[in-house]
Amino acid sequence: MNRKVIIIGAGLTGLSAGIHLQQAGIDSEIFELANWAGGMCTSWVRQGYRFDGCIHWMVGTHPDSGFYKLYREVDALASDTPIYSSDSIEMEINGKMHVLPLHYPEFCDYLRKIAPEDKAGIDQLDRDLKRVTHSKLPSGGPVNLKELVKLMRESSGWLMVMGKTVSKTVEEYIRPIKNPTLRALLFNLMPADFSATALLMMLGARMTGDGGYPLGGSLELIRRVESKYRALGGEIHFNSRVEKIVVENGKATGIVVKGEFFPADAVIAAGDAHDTLVHLLGKQYPHPQLDQMLSSAPLFQPLGVISFGLKRRFDIPYARTYEVPEGIEVAPGVVQHRLFVHSFDFDPSAAPEGGSSVMTMTEMPLKYWQDLRESDMVEYKRQKQALADRYAHAIDARIPGFADAIQVTDVATPATYVRLANLYQGSYEGFLPTPTALRKSIKNTLPGLANVVLCGQWTVAGGGLCTAVDSGKKAAVLTQKILKD
């Protein structure tokens, strides 16, 4: 009789795991909290306007990339999916709008124009960018000597740079650079406490065409992956919050959903790690890394996304960040002073003809929005509209006519993401890619518990679509091994 694997979560990781299991001849079923697939990889369509709640750019969009091959395996990207890669991003520092080229060596040349006195520090960044833009980003460890030789040949520059930067923060890496404008630009590209490897990975991907946006966005991406899983015989149960992983004699035997037991030979937990360890397993199986990290490691902070459907276009670039000296209140007593504006005008499918889909995102306190939603839904909706109005006013002050062109408004608060994706502390991408977190090798199994595999954003610091797909594939491979033993 064929083995059955139950997967918790129909996000990108869970679907990836399901596809690889189905292709290996192992039956799988996915149980999903929401009433659609995708988890955090999702979009909303309002009156013909698509608002992308996930993708701004993704690592692995170049056909020669190893991650591109991973995407193709699960149909996250089709062979004919158009990819948009921006030539620049715009950022206001001290009242001046800087247009940063996303090309090498033009990026470094621009930095030298700003701060010729920081030549030594910029030259070091230049050397590292040259190495990463002239070699392939590694997309997984080698499994044999042939792959090791290939990795060393194709990714030597990346391996050299990662080896010397993974243990450094961005602050430590750019310490030789003293010019305040230059430091502000770099810290806006990547926070100071992130690993310097994250900064170089982002820049390297964007500068080599390996960090673009797939037209159709996260909505079309997840539809392709879901369709592939279903075509292989996989089954998804929506509106099905898993209440418990059933364990007998130290081995998982199934799950409970709405009081009903569903048997399985193995369980892949592709949802929230805290929920899995604390609620589904009742704190009975300590994890050697996650228990400590979930309680003390820095997390991505909760986000709110405010989206606008405009009846006309304003030639807003792909990404522009404004300073907001007057501030924008995102919760009582919480004010943001930077305004990120992202336009999807490059994607014809994002808005009706002649219209424009524009969004902004910002960190927001989860507790305020969650408490408000639970206590007073009418006031919650009123405050969401008030928040959208404040952002529309701030954008209109910088792009005159913006407010009058608004046809549709949509606001997703941190409470929205917790409700739909069950995020621990509202963290949309798990652990921050700090040097400490990136050096952690987070185990995918639990001591004393057989036939449960953990995967997803909580098992790889930094998150991201490429790691979600890769994590799901690795979970499927590990599950196959477990079932054979």
**27-63 per-position pLDDT tens digit:** 999 999 999 999 999 899 999 999 998 999 999 999 9
pLDDT digits (tens, 9 = 90+) for 263-304: 999 999 999 999 999 999 999 999 999 999 999 999 999 999
Helix or strand holding residue 408 (H, E):
strand 406-412
Which amino acid belongs to residue 257?
A: V
Q: Do 130 and 184 lie in a common domain?
A: yes
**pLDDT computed for residue 139 by the predictor:** 80
Least confident of 82-86, 234-238, 461-465: 461-465
Q: Do 140 and 239 lie in a common domain?
A: no
**pLDDT computed for residue 137 by the predictor:** 87
Query: Which CATH number covers residue 199?
Result: 1.10.405
Q: Do 110 and 196 lie in a common domain?
A: yes
pLDDT digits (tens, 9 = 90+) for 231-247: 999 999 999 999 999 99
Q: Do 35 and 18 lie in a common domain?
A: yes
**pLDDT computed for residue 143 by the predictor:** 62
Three-class SS state of 58? strand
Q: Is residue 117 part of a domain?
A: yes
Distances (CA, A) of 14 to 18, 186, 214: 6, 35, 21
Q: What is the mean pLDDT of the chain?
A: 96
Q: Do 129 and 152 lie in a common domain?
A: yes
CB atoms within 10 A of CB 349: 14
Q: How many residues in total does the chain contain?
A: 485
The DSSP annotation for 258-277 comes to TTEEEE-SEEEE-S-HHIII
Q: Do 409 and 469 lie in a common domain?
A: no
Q: Which of 180, 208, 236 is the last residue of a domain?
A: 208
CA–CA dist 81, 58 (Å, integer): 13
Distances (CA, A) of 44 to 13, 51, 213, 220, 364: 20, 5, 17, 11, 20
pLDDT digits (tens, 9 = 90+) for 399-425: 999 999 999 999 999 999 999 899 999
**pLDDT computed for residue 53 by the predictor:** 87
CB atoms within 10 A of CB 242: 25
Q: Do 294 and 308 lie in a common domain?
A: no
Q: Is residue 14 part of a domain?
A: yes
Domain around 342: 303-421
Q: Is residue 81 part of a domain?
A: no
Contacts of 154-162 with CB under 8 Å at 24 or more apart are 157/130, 157/131, 157/132, 158/131, 158/132, 158/204, 160/131, 161/128, 161/131, 161/132, 161/197, 161/200, 162/197
Q: Do 37 and 144 lie in a common domain?
A: no
**DSSP state letter for 471:** H
**pLDDT computed for residue 338 by the predictor:** 97
CB atoms within 10 A of CB 379: 12
Helix or strand holding residue 253 (H, E):
strand 251-257
Q: pTM score, two decimals? A: 0.96
CA–CA dist 39, 222 (Å, integer): 9
Residue 1: band (very low, low, confident or very high) from pLDDT cuts 50, 70, 90: low
Three-class SS state of 359? strand
